[in-house]
Structure 1
Amino acid sequence: MENQYDVVVIGSGPGGYVAAIRASQLGYRVAIVEKYSTLGGTCTNVGCIPAKSLLDSSEHYHQAEVQFKAHGINTGGISLDFGQFIRRKGEVVAQNTAGLVYLMKKNKIQVYHGVGSFTDATHLKVTAADKTEAVLTSRYFIIATGSKPSTIPGVAIDKKRIITSTESLSLPEKPASMVIIGGGVIGVELASVYARIGTSVTIIEYTDNLIPTMDRELGKALQKSLRQLKINLLLGSKVQSAVNNGDTATVKFLDQQGAPQEIKADYCLVAVGRRAYTDGLNLQAAGIQTAKNGKITVNEKLQTNVPNIYAIGDVIDGPMLAHKAEEEGVFAAETIHGLHPHLNYALVPGVVYTWPEVAAVGATEEQLKAQNVEYKAGKFPYMASARARASMDTDGFVKVLVSPKYGEILGVHIIGPRAADVIAQSVLAIEQEMTAEEMIRSCYAHPTYAEALKDAYLIATGQGAINI
């Protein structure tokens, strides 16, 4: 039959397209269903990729303003073409989505654009934008429909003045001011983008620290960096409401002392997290169970309670990260094939693409203390790194947490230049159960940002740093 498949993947984000490709590589007849007209999901279209494009563009502009003179580069007066700033981001997205179209064709994966809705555990109805329908029959399904921005009581997102990260990536003109509700990963990244190009930015965060899910020292160091960008940080503050005034938005909140305050800005960006997106899937028809938070319940094999239906990525428990979804996509496809893949959630790295970047893997100091786990910390500042001094990127540090008994690496936490890339070595080291001594004995190229890791391990083991 024309619409009969071995595996149908619902959702074409990083988890979905990776799952589809891996299933095809394993010899299955595969289809992928995508609600929108382009492939790639949130990450490629309105998340990771466009955000990093704007982060890079804004950092170049900021360096031209504040650092080029120190390098002997005289630019004269510089200005920002905000239209081109946004257009370049669009070009990057288009290149990536075109690459996904190529990969689907290369791997002989049939693409259906439309909303997928289960009619039972083996059939999915796909309704296209023009209302035409196709019914797909499949032995297996992998649900990878991702997530959508969430909000808080008193704050209704209208996508005009009270916006989400999606709208913030395509504003019609550079805003003079912006209030961001939430000091997590999305909030601090977008705060960096707009503060660098001259927008007056205020972050209102409910907890007393930025990026509260990460090691506390990282958040404290990030506060210092963001304040250098003149970002106003209102920590320990509770937002009560946000109102669209037409050409501005007003946010009312309680400050650290519980006193009522309000602030007005061109835009209010809501960055308080995301929720699992399963709208329209008609999960009940397939008998699929969900938890109270709306996420799909799966077992250790990523199977739902319906054995032939799997779920991955943001629709299930765990960090809402593209690379976590990718690993789960491979895991699900290989499990369907009868293989026995391995996935260690404790070793999914977290990254924040501010500058300096923030990256971490393993346990935080707070977690180790709460569990009464003995550890030694080694902390090396980038101020003492020759490579960092050469590039004028001396903010931040590397901190490693090591077991004093056997030298086991318990956690690595970095805030500094290229932390997102440097953390990969630590993920591999912990995965392969390397010790601090083995990390010290490895040869690091000089001068590099990664050398700071070696010195941190030397400090943790009581030997003392030896590099600059």
Structure 2
Amino acid sequence: METFDLLVIGSGPAGRRAAVQGAKLGKSVMVIENRLRLGGVSVHTGTIPSKTLRETVLNLSGWRERGFYGLAYRVKKDIEGKDLGARLRMTLNHEIEVLEHQFARNGVRTFGGMARFLDTNRVCVTAPDGDETIFGFSHAVIAVGTAPHRPSHIPFNDHSVVDSDSLVTEPRVPRSLTVVGAGVIGIEYATIFSALDVPVTIIEPKETILDFIDREIVEEFTHELRQRGMTIRFGAKVEKVELDDQGWAVSTLADGRRIRTDMLLYAAGRSGATAGLGLESCGIVPNDRGRLKVDPVTFQTNVRNIYAAGDVIGFPSLASTSMEQGRIAALHACGAPMPPAPEFFPYGIYAVPEISTVGLTEQEVRAQGIPYENGIARFRETSRGHIMGLESGMMKMIFSLETRKLLGVHIVGEGATELIHIGQAVLNLGGTLDYFVENAFNYPTLAEAYKIAALDAWNRMPHTTPIAQIE
């Protein structure tokens, strides 16, 4: 039996970063992956495929140019599933090659198969051909990710009724689409297909969406979706889904309404992929959705030498945060110093348009009783926005009235997930409104929105310095 200092189950963002960090500390590392190729959910069915699909759709549809050339403008007239799949396969292969090279360069061993804990220091790995191999370990990191929740009453057939996995495995462009669930995944795919001019209906049982995002940003976002023809049914619950004689999906809502579309995407939640791991053999008990509870600082489970990181531990379930969780887990497991975690990290939602946010929302600022002022900038107010033909998009910045410190940045629109990092840096370094007012930004750029929003807030804040001296 081979024994390793660190054994990692799963090769997605959390497992990948944990493995490389352990190797860089001079530890022997083994990664177990139950897919035929490395990469985990992120590379095969999650982050990379969905963002690749988004970029392909925006390019082929001519979406970014319609502000100039009209709503009928398209780069390719008839976009089919094969157009989407070609770029997906190229991107997937590239990501896997990069990961394999990274593991090889750092001396990380890999083994294909399904891992099952025998006790707190051994796993049995069943290979695709049925052979079993036992590995020992000093510490382990569970980074198996999640799988789409598939209720038994939904007639999945991976063609007209799909989940987010089967949607990208064999992509096609439906004539119409119903999306059940307005979480991050549902919203991303709904808006991506809407950019292809597919009629889209979103069904969400709650009265709100994206509750962790600033409400003003969500209102701006939903207004834009409705303006371009998307149907959003808040407070609506799907009672039943059936297939009609033509194979179309017919959704019956609790209020009796029926919605018939060529395809239905069920995106109402995901479950931790912990079934079959034999967690009972080492005393770890997942919750009813298969997720694991960990220490929020070290990412240890209740078993001290076994850690968990990434989507399998729940919110925020972002690739970026999963990487950092995996790295911290490996540092703690290997007895290395752990840097203090940054107070704020960004969220990115790759919808069309993008949403990105960092720091406190206006609702959180109010709840904490902090005197504040907002600054707003519209992308159409920037020269870069004019050049790009942008008709929508906004940045919202929140500042403390007492200290002038930046409290939060919230963006919806083109490039939001890239722009947010300026605000992230200033926020984590304790910067104030003055940074944005007194510093020069490249011209013309969308980043100028920071200066516009800061001056907008400054104009409403108590001050003694004449505005001419600042401008």
Q: What TM-score comes out, normalization by structure 1 length?
A: 0.92
Given candidates 265, 269, 272, the residue that maps to 1:269 is: 265
Counterpart for residue 27 of structure 1: 26
> Within 5 A, what are the aligned runs for 1:2-401?
3-63=2-62, 67=66, 70=69, 78-150=77-149, 154-155=153-154, 157-171=156-170, 173-245=172-244, 247-254=247-254, 259-291=255-287, 293-299=289-295, 300-342=297-339, 344=341, 347-401=344-398
- Supply the distance in 1 between the matched residues of 2:391 and 2:445 (Cα, whole angstroms): 13
Deviates more, 1:62-71 or 1:81-90: 62-71
- Supply the distance in 2 between the matched residues of 1:81 and 1:163 (Cα, whole angstroms): 17
- Any idea what SS the aligned residue of 1:204 has? strand
CA separation of 1:210 and 1:461: change in aligned 2, threshold 3 A: same
How many Å apart are 1:439 and its aligned residue? 3.4
- Supply the distance in 2 between the matched residues of 1:33 and 1:19 (Cα, whole angstroms): 12
- Supply the distance in 2 between the matched residues of 1:164 and 1:343 (Cα, whole angstroms): 38
One-letter amino acid matched to 2:134: V
CA separation of 1:285 and 1:77: change in aligned 2, threshold 3 A: closer
- Supply the distance in 1 between the matched residues of 2:61 and 2:93 (Cα, whole angstroms): 25
Deviates more, 1:26-35 or 1:198-207: 198-207
Maintained 8 Å contact 1:210/1:222:
no
One-letter amino acid matched to 1:266: D
- Supply the distance in 1 between the matched residues of 2:284 and 2:76 (Cα, whole angstroms): 60
One-letter amino acid matched to 2:404: G
- Supply the distance in 2 between the matched residues of 1:382 and 1:13 (Cα, whole angstroms): 35
Maintained 8 Å contact 1:239/1:252:
yes
Maintained 8 Å contact 2:60/2:75:
no
- Supply the distance in 1 between the matched residues of 2:287 and 2:88 (Cα, whole angstroms): 36
Maintained 8 Å contact 2:178/2:201:
yes
- Any idea what SS the aligned residue of 1:462 has? helix
- Any idea what SS the aligned residue of 1:38 has? coil
- Supply the distance in 2 between the matched residues of 1:223 and 1:142 (Cα, whole angstroms): 39
- Any idea what SS the aligned residue of 2:62 has? helix
- Any idea what SS the aligned residue of 2:459 has? coil
CA separation of 1:316 and 1:135: change in aligned 2, threshold 3 A: same
- Gaps of at least 5 residues in structure 2 are 462-466
CA separation of 1:64 and 1:428: change in aligned 2, threshold 3 A: closer
- 1:458 matched to 2:455? The reply is yes
Counterpart for residue 440 of structure 1: 437
- Supply the distance in 1 between the matched residues of 2:286 and 2:81 (Cα, whole angstroms): 43
One-letter amino acid matched to 2:258: E
CA deviation string 1:383-414 (max 9, x = no partner):
21111111012312110111111122221100
One-letter amino acid matched to 1:326: M
One-letter amino acid matched to 1:19: A
Maintained 8 Å contact 1:184/1:212:
no
Maintained 8 Å contact 1:9/1:33:
yes
Maintained 8 Å contact 2:67/2:391:
no
Aligned residues: 462
One-letter amino acid matched to 2:257: Q
- Gaps of at least 5 residues in structure 1 are none
Maintained 8 Å contact 1:176/1:198:
no
- Any idea what SS the aligned residue of 1:354 has? coil
RMSD over aligned Cα, in angstroms? 2.6
Given candidates 426, 443, 449, the residue that maps to 2:446 is: 449
- Supply the distance in 2 between the matched residues of 1:76 and 1:7 (Cα, whole angstroms): 49
One-letter amino acid matched to 1:455: I
How many Å apart are 1:97 and its aligned residue? 1.1
CA separation of 1:315 and 1:324: change in aligned 2, threshold 3 A: same
- Supply the distance in 2 between the matched residues of 1:79 and 1:277 (Cα, whole angstroms): 38
- Supply the distance in 2 between the matched residues of 1:225 and 1:61 (Cα, whole angstroms): 21
How many Å apart are 1:320 and its aligned residue? 0.9
One-letter amino acid matched to 2:167: S
One-letter amino acid matched to 1:162: V
- Supply the distance in 2 between the matched residues of 1:396 and 1:65 (Cα, whole angstroms): 13
CA separation of 1:463 and 1:373: change in aligned 2, threshold 3 A: closer
- Supply the distance in 2 between the matched residues of 1:49 and 1:61 (Cα, whole angstroms): 18
CA separation of 1:152 and 1:438: change in aligned 2, threshold 3 A: farther
How many Å apart are 1:351 and its aligned residue? 1.2
Maintained 8 Å contact 2:45/2:169:
no
CA deviation string 1:297-324 (max 9, x = no partner):
2122111111111111112143111111
Maintained 8 Å contact 1:383/1:389:
yes
How many Å apart are 1:343 and its aligned residue? 5.5
CA separation of 1:280 and 1:76: change in aligned 2, threshold 3 A: closer
Q: What TM-score comes out, normalization by structure 2 length?
A: 0.91
Deviates more, 1:453-462 or 1:25-34: 453-462
- Supply the distance in 2 between the matched residues of 1:317 and 1:173 (Cα, whole angstroms): 30
One-letter amino acid matched to 1:62: S
- 1:421 matched to 2:430? The reply is no
CA separation of 1:263 and 1:81: change in aligned 2, threshold 3 A: closer
- Supply the distance in 1 between the matched residues of 2:127 and 2:310 (Cα, whole angstroms): 24
Maintained 8 Å contact 1:68/1:74:
no
CA separation of 1:172 and 1:17: change in aligned 2, threshold 3 A: closer
Maintained 8 Å contact 2:358/2:420:
yes
CA separation of 1:79 and 1:398: change in aligned 2, threshold 3 A: same
CA separation of 1:294 and 1:64: change in aligned 2, threshold 3 A: closer
CA separation of 1:346 and 1:226: change in aligned 2, threshold 3 A: farther
